Amino acid sequence: MDTTTLFRLDGRIALVTGGSRGIGKMIAAGFIAQGARVYISSRKADICEEAAKELGPNCIALPQDVSTVAGCKALAAQLAEHEERLDILVNNAGAAWGVPFEEFSEVGWDKVMDLNVKSPFFLTQALHGLLKVGGSAARPAKVINITSIDGQRLNPWETYSYHASKSALIYLTKRMAARLVRDHVNVTSIAPGAFPSDMNKAARDHGEAIARGIPAGRIGVDEDMAGAAIYLASRAGDYVIGETITVDGGLVHAALGTSIDAG
């Protein structure tokens, strides 16, 4: 067994939505370090270009809004101008919305559901042809959905559509995996815990306080996220299908609950 190449991505072509910052950028950087050519996408073209420049010659910016089906199709067409196949798609772009129950609006519902649930489905559909060319029995293509521990357990915030969207995406991952496995396209997901980003300002600006509530005693860092994504994207993860890997320092699966003292 050659374990030196097990996690390599040499010659692989990847697309990471929301790759201009935060978790998407951590994943893009990891893939590039393992030898992949990585396309990153986000709405703000200048920031997307800047991030691609920072990530080096193997990173190409494809700015696009993927919250609509038309946007998903447009991004797939942009990619097809550059590549004849796609090996790895990371559906990472996501949005959150937190407002008290009484005031929660349709706008906050649709914005989150469109980007977090509709977009991963329709972008994968739009890229199905290129992914089928990328995948083979010996080397399946990969779709990795970035979900969240908020789809696995509750947090105190009133992020109704976000909770529902991430739970939906975990389940959608399994359903899409069941269909696409016969095309040699493996669908999986990563459920991150607290990683510093514009979305998770609490982890970014108050990391030490957040860390006190995490069994591992710290928030997530770039290597934690890149490591999980590289595993799923590379030969190492070829036999993992439909699964959600939780990367959260133990919040979901290793946190002690409370109990009523019956004594």
Ligand X SMILES: NC(=O)c1ccc[n+]([C@@H]2O[C@H](COP(=O)([O-])OP(=O)(O)OC[C@H]3O[C@@H](n4cnc5c(N)ncnc54)[C@H](OP(=O)(O)O)[C@@H]3O)[C@@H](O)[C@H]2O)c1
> Within a 10 A sphere around the Cβ of 254, how many other Cβ atoms?
12
Closest C-alpha to 235, from 143, 136, 140:
140
To the nearest whole angstrom, how small is the minimum distance from the Cβ of residue 137 to ligand X? 31
To the nearest whole angstrom, how small is the minimum distance from the Cβ of residue 244 to ligand X? 12
Which H or E run contains 60? strand 59-61
To the nearest whole angstrom, how small is the minimum distance from the Cβ of residue 94 to ligand X? 2
**Cα dist. 234→47, 129, 240 in Å?**
28, 20, 11
Work out which of 60, 62, 203, 230 binds ligand X, going by CB under 6 A: 203
- Choose the stretch contacting ligand X; rule: CB under 6 A; options: 3-11, 89-97, 181-189, 253-261: 89-97
Could you confirm whether 171 is annotated as catalytic?
no
To the nearest whole angstrom, how small is the minimum distance from the Cβ of residue 66 to ligand X? 4
Kindly write down the DSSP assignment for every residue of 197-221, as one continuous string.
Answer: SSS-HHHHHSHHHHHTTSTTSS---
Work out which of 24, 30, 237, 242 binds ligand X, going by CB under 6 A: 24
Work out which of 194, 229, 241, 251 binds ligand X, going by CB under 6 A: 194
Q: According to the binding rule CB under 6 A, does residue 161 interact with ligand X?
A: no
Work out which of 9, 29, 52, 148 binds ligand X, going by CB under 6 A: 148
Catalytic residue among 39, 160, 162, 239: 162
Instruction: Please give the positions annotated as active site.
Output: 162
